[in-house]
A = this chain, B = another copy of it.
Amino acid sequence: MRATIKDVARISGVSTATVSRVLNQLGGYGPEVATKVLAVAKAIGYRRNDSAVSLVKQATRTIGIVMPTVTTSFYAQIINGIEDSAYQAGYSVILTHAGSSNIRLLESLNFMVERRVEGIIGVSINLNQTDLTQIKALAVPLLLLSAQAPDDQLPYVKVDDYQAAYAATRFLIKQGHQRIALAGVDPSDLVAGQPRIAGYEAALTAAQLRPDRNLIFTGDYTFAAGQQAMQAIIARPEVAPTAVFAVSDETALGVISICYQAGIEIPRELSVLGYDNSAIAAMATPALSTVAQPFYQMGQIAAQKMITSLQTKTVITSELVPFKLIQRGTVAVPRSN
């Protein structure tokens, strides 16, 4: 059994109250007592029991992270950001997966409530109205990261997908592209799907280019989705885009992998633009031009917002974080231009 405050008290010849005061530097004790207590605590390897502290203080200084099981490469960056901020504020981070398509979501959230986390950051989780109702009943602050709830019923930290898609498409147009495909997008996805489609089409329209639904290749943001999109593009020469805007870096790599097999040279014959700027983007060959989401910072911001809100008892405000266009090696002017 581990040493407790009582052991320290007994050995030091003082009361537990005094030991507690010394250990927490609350003042109101003589210097020699302090020295003694500290020495004893160290000698017997005393460590505070946070369960007991949490119980009496009614605060666990813990925040929870819930995320889908699927492990796209950028989650590590987000977690890093959250954990670093939390750590600095003296908070612990507990982690659970919501399973694929949220099957474990409510179970996970419940788990965390029992663990008495003070707040939860939900990464990339899509919520429907039922979820939302149940979450309200949990009575724990939930902040969304890279996600958004219907009618903004929950605060979020994310980039503006519409603006990012608009800027990305506009960038491609400025390079001289006129036939630009959009690949891997899920049109039923209210958060990252529809806004990106809308931004893409708006940029096209603003440049007097007529959006063409045949240039939109739907998918689920994966590598495989990119491969399928590119295969479809090759299969239909009448479509012949000069650039493809992929909705994720992984999708972009899927596109590129098919081009490689088909002998299509990038960026000479086809430009490819990714989305995320995950670690793989910089390591791809050729290095992937992409829309950067500042994942690490997003994690930091989310944790900070949560903790500040907890400490000041204020409501968490949503925040749109800036994206950035990173030009590397996969976008060039179109050949025909």
Interface residues of A (CB under 8 A from B): 1-2, 45, 47-52, 54-55, 58, 60, 62, 69, 71-73, 75-77, 79-80, 83-84, 87, 92-97, 104, 110-111, 113-116, 137, 139, 223, 250, 253-254, 256-257, 260, 279-280, 282-287
Query: Is A73 a contact of B114 with CB atoms below 8 Å?
Result: no
Seed contacts A62-B94, A250-B283; 13 additional CB < 8 Å A-B pairs: A47-B110, A49-B116, A51-B54, A71-B76, A73-B73, A73-B280, A87-B96, A87-B97, A92-B94, A93-B94, A93-B96, A257-B285, A280-B280
A329 to B214, CA, bound (A): 32
Given A71-B76, A87-B97, A280-B283, A139:B48 Cβ within 8 A: no
Residues A279 and B73 in contact, CB atoms below 8 Å apart? yes
Closest Cβ of chain B: how far from A228's Cβ, in Å?
Answer: 14
| Contact status A93-B95, CB under 8 Å | yes
B94 touches A94 (CB 8 A): yes
User: Which residue in chain B gives the minimum CB-CB distance to A286?
Assistant: B260
Across-interface contacts of A60 in B (CB, < 8 A): 51
Q: List 8 A-B contacts (CB under 8 A).
A: A1-B58, A45-B139, A47-B113, A49-B55, A49-B116, A73-B280, A87-B104, A285-B285
